[in-house]
Structure 1
Amino acid sequence: MARMVFCKKIGKESKGLDTQPFPGPKGLEIFDNISKEAWDEWLEHQTRLINEKHLNMMDLTARTYLNEQRDKFFSGEEIDQAEGYLSTSK
């Protein structure tokens, strides 16, 4: 049976992640409060940001930027969009 969580991003109970996305308190917070659906949405957005903004993941500034964007994404705050990205959803 799938592990269920009340997802703070989508505001309803949904299937949770199978494992913590990364170690530490932030990874545990995401594991406990974010659904697989919301995590997958974040991964897609993160990939767009990395690609379109040409972020170097070896650069601490780029990693810090993505962490800040991730926290805003899951809190429902306004987040940066990849320049030139056109959403296919209506």
Structure 2
Amino acid sequence: MANTVFCKKYQKEMEALDRAPLPGAKGKEILTSVSKQAWQEWQLLQTMMINEKQLNLMQPASRQYVLEQMDKFFNNEETDKLAGYVSPDDITEL
């Protein structure tokens, strides 16, 4: 049976990550409080943010921005909007 974790994004027990996705204390925090599903969703949003905002993760300010957005995402706070992005939930059929 897969390990589970109480996911702070979804507020319920869900499948846990197999290993810490980041080094250090932040990675341990994510491992113990974020589900595999929430992490996968964050990775998709993170990729869109990096591409849309043309972030260079070699720059400390860009890395800090991504970490701030990640914390907002997992805490169910509003993250920065991406220009031109329409959520599939917002699309209505004609």
Q: TM class by shorter-chain length?
A: over 0.9
**Structure 2, gaps ≥5 residues long:** none
Q: Is residue 81 from structure 1 mapped to residue 81 from structure 2 by the alignment?
A: yes
Question: Considering only CA atoms, is the larger Rg found in Structure 1 or Structure 2?
Answer: 2
CA distance in 2 between counterparts of 1:86 and 1:56 reads: 24
CA deviations over 1:22-69 (Å, ceiling 9, x no partner):
111111010001000000110010001001111111111110000000
Q: TM-score, normalised by structure 1?
A: 0.95
Q: Is residue 32 from structure 1 mapped to residue 32 from structure 2 by the alignment?
A: yes
* Number of residue pairs the alignment of both structures matches: 90
| 1:1-90 matched pairs, under 5 angstroms | 1-90=1-90
Secondary structure in structure 2 of the residue aligned to 1:89: helix
Q: TM-score, normalised by structure 2?
A: 0.91
Shift of 1:89: 3.0
